[in-house]
Amino acid sequence: MNAIIMAAGVGSRISRHVDKPKCLLEVEGKSILRRTAEMLIRNEFQPIVVTGYQHQQLKENLAGLDIPLLQNPFFRVTNSLGSLWFAKDYIHQDETLFLMNADVFWEQDIMDILLNEEKDAVLLADSSLSRLQNGDYFFGCDGEKIVKYGKELARSIRTHEYVGIGKVEPSFLPYFMKKMNQLIEEEHYDYWWENILYSCSEERDVYIRDIAGHFWAEVDYIEDYERIMEYLWKRKK
CATH code, domain carrying 142 = 3.90.550.10
Please state the φ and ψ torsions of residue 166, each to the nearest 5 degrees. Answer: -150, 175
Q: What is the CA radius of gyration of the chain?
A: 17
Report CA dihedral (119, 111, 155, 207) to the nearest 10 degrees. -10
DSSP string, 20-78: S-GGG-EETTEEHHHHHHHHHHHTT-EEEEEEBTBHHHHHHHTTTS---EEE-TTTTT-
pLDDT at 17: 58
Q: pTM of the prediction?
A: 0.94
Q: Where are the alpha helices (DSSP H) in 108-192?
A: 108-116, 129-134, 173-185
CA angle, 161 then 148 then 4, to 5° = 60
Amino acid letter, 138: F
Whether 10 and 76 have beta carbons less than 8 Å apart is answered as yes
Which structural domain, as residue segments, surrounds residue 105?
2-236
The pLDDT tens digits along the chain (237 residues) read 999 999 998 866 665 556 789 999 999 999 999 999 999 999 999 999 999 999 999 999 999 999 999 999 999 999 999 999 999 999 999 999 999 999 999 999 999 999 999 999 999 999 999 999 989 999 999 999 999 999 999 999 999 999 999 999 999 999 999 999 999 999 999 999 999 999 998 889 999 999 999 999 999 888 999 999 999 998 887
Domain total of the chain = 1
**E strand or H helix at 98:** strand 97-101
pLDDT of residue 138: 97
